[in-house]
Structure 1
Amino acid sequence: MNELNDLIQTGTISDIRETLDFLLNECSLDETPDRETVQIWAQILQQRGGKFASLAKLCEQFLQETVA
């Protein structure tokens, strides 16, 4: 997931949004990222701030919907 972490840290909002939409909503269950990974992404996006905060909320929503 290093490439994905790099994308979350440095990518454009449109690239990240498209990737998150696929990973959190469209891919098969065996490809869905684990909760810990999504939590890390949410933290990174929150730290990036501004327009990326809305993407952090997508991660948080996913985490709420997939309560372990």
Structure 2
Amino acid sequence: MPRIVYAHQYDTVDAICQRVYGRTAGVTEQLLEQNPGLADLGPMLPQGTAITLPDVVQQPQRSTVVQLWD
């Protein structure tokens, strides 16, 4: 069963992704694909807009350490 959330007043797609998934990277695009026409509503979504959440797989944590100076 799809999971649905409703936009709060002044919500953006990025704010919803951050609130639900804890990140926006790699999630915003999936959410927009899952909800055709959502981007047409503008940067701030109308309050109460129903948004179907995609199932998102957690991104693996990068363990590479980059040292700028040795």
TM-score greater than 0.5 by the shorter chain: no
Which has the larger strand fraction? 2
More helix by share: 1
| TM-score of the pair, normalised by structure 1 | 0.32
Structure with the greater alpha carbon radius of gyration = 2
Structure of greater relative contact order (alpha carbons < 8 Å, 6+ residues apart): 2
